[in-house]
Amino acid sequence: MDTLTSEITLSNDFHMTTVTLRIGPDKRLTPGQVRRARMTLCGIDGCTCGGDCGERGPGNPYIVVGPDGAGQIMPDWQHGHETPEELDQYVAESEV
């Protein structure tokens, strides 16, 4: 894996599913990655078990999906990841 990308694993503890996605230094998910995550983690039309990417349960980052369908990994205020350095550490800890 090149140094400009890293991997992050999202999970859904209701359906017991996981998906690993490659992200760049901007911590963004493409619209295609958001769709892939949603279909892999849940895939049931109309199910409200998870977030915008289908993620659910502890250990998942906070992801905001914009009107363009792209996702941005945000600091998880609930868990104290407030600075860019802490977010980088959080992503690094999620790498497989």
d(CA 17, CA 33): 16
Residue 87, in any domain of the structure: yes
Residue 48, in any domain of the structure: yes
pTM (2 decimals)? Answer: 0.72
Residue 1, in any domain of the structure: no
Q: Classify residue 83 by its DSSP letter.
A: S
HEC-encoded secondary structure of 64-75: EECCCCCEEEEC
Which tens digit of pLDDT belongs to each residue from 51-85?
A: 989 999 988 888 989 999 999 888 654 444 445 66
Residue 90, in any domain of the structure: yes
The domain total for the chain is 1
Which residue range is the domain that position 72 belongs to?
6-94
**What are the two backbone dihedrals, phi and then psi, of residue 62, each rounded to the nearest 5 degrees?**
-85, 120
